[in-house]
Amino acid sequence: MPRTTGPGGSGPTSKDVARIAGVSQSTVSYVMSGKRPISAKTRKLVEDAIAQLTYEPHAGARALAGQRTSVIAVVVPFSTPLSAHGLMSFVEEIALVARAHDHDVLLVTADEGIAGLRRVAGRRLCDAVVVMEVRTDDDRVAVARDLGVPVLFIGVPEDAGGLHCNDFDFESAADLLVGELAAAGERDVVVLAWGDDTTSRDLNYVPRFERGARRAAQRHGVALEWAPVPADRVLDPVLEDVLAGRDAPPALVVATALPEAMGALARRGLRPGTDLSLVALCTAAEAQAQAVAVTACSQHPRDVSRRAVTRLFRLLDGAGAPPGVELFPAEVTRRDSVRPRP
């Protein structure tokens, strides 16, 4: 709908918000300032009215209020059902840590980019912001530096200067996984990697993982091939292409779709640890749930989230460290999916 304006075309006011929400102007003020408890139902009426009017309270009024909202906003675009599922362990841990600090979590799941950050901070909906699904070239970076509330990225954009970033060390994980195969005597390695549905979103961990894998392959003298996993995660055609023209199956680094990869191998009578070597980037639970327990690097989603939000609360309390990148270290857990060295 067109933007509603107040008298003289100066933009919507708290009076306009009160009219749309069906509440008093003072109630709008209390919702924005946090000076009095307001029921969840009334707060939602006011917030919906604000969204309808694209009203943002005056920065000076917010400063005078001087009140925290006791809310952490988590900006996490759910681009696909699959990506949403993969992110929920991160979000759940963020919510648990926030609750332990007597804060609630506001999920911002639309892919709004800059507008999403400005909306949650400009309307004083939160005390701090966690940004997820970080792109390599992320337009939210420039806004985050001047947002006026603490912002923490779970992910590492290319331009990370002046930002607080936490993540798993994907580059080292790839290096370790390729190194594990090289140590077992494997010299022909194929990475079952993220496909166009992920790479088209420029997600930051993809090039980081690839850098680590290619660096390790060069160091160990390993031939490395990249095989993207399609969006439907049907891996039979991919494995057909990988196996074609080879006298023996290559070793596999599975960066995504591990259960589907294991199923496609089983349909060809190939057993990891016996017929070929296989390692994966996956959680410990997923690695142990396969027909053959998989040697893997876990991304530690809960640990990464816990560290990130703990750091964010230190920033809120004025005791945080300077901006910088903090990476959760990668380590390989050996199981049964790598063949013994001849």
Average pLDDT, rounded, for the chain: 88
Q: What confidence tier does 81 reach under pLDDT thresholds 50, 70, 90?
A: low
**Longest alpha-carbon distance in the chain:** 83
Residue 33, pLDDT score:
61
Record the tokens describing residue 125, joined without a space.
Answer: 């909906």
Residue 121, pLDDT score:
77
Query: Quick check: 61 pLDDT over 50?
Result: no
Can 69-168+300-330 and 170-299 be said to share one CATH topology?
Answer: yes
Give the global pTM. Answer: 0.79
**Beta-strand runs (E) in the chain:** 71-75, 104-108, 128-131, 151-154, 164-168, 188-193, 223-228, 251-254, 278-281, 295-297, 324-328, 332-333
Q: What confidence tier does 59 reach under pLDDT thresholds 50, 70, 90?
A: very low
What are the tens digits of pLDDT across the range 125-147?
899 999 999 999 999 998 898 88
Decide which of 3.40.50.1980, 1.10.260.40, 2.60.40.3500, 1.10.645.10 is the CATH code for 1-67.
1.10.260.40
Residue 55, pLDDT score:
54
Q: What confidence tier does 84 reach under pLDDT thresholds 50, 70, 90?
A: low
- Residue-wise DSSP of 75-136: E----SHHHHHHHHHHHHHHHHHHHHTT-EEEEE-S--THHHHHHHHHTT--SEEEE-S-BS
Residue spans of the domains in the chain: they are 1-67, 69-168+300-330, 170-299
List strands edge to edge, sheet with 164-168: 104-108, 71-75, 128-131, 151-154, 164-168, 324-328
Of all residues in the chain, the percent with pLDDT exceeding 90 is 64
Query: Quick check: 63 pLDDT over 80?
Result: no
Return d(Cα 188, Cα 181) in angstroms, integer: 9
Residue 172, pLDDT score:
98
Of all residues in the chain, the percent with pLDDT exceeding 70 is 89
Record the tokens describing residue 302, joined without a space.
Answer: 């809960």
Topology annotation, domain 69-168+300-330: Rossmann fold (3.40.50)
Topology annotation, domain 170-299: Rossmann fold (3.40.50)
What are the tens digits of pLDDT across the range 7-18?
444 456 778 888
Return d(Cα 139, Cα 338) in angstroms, integer: 41
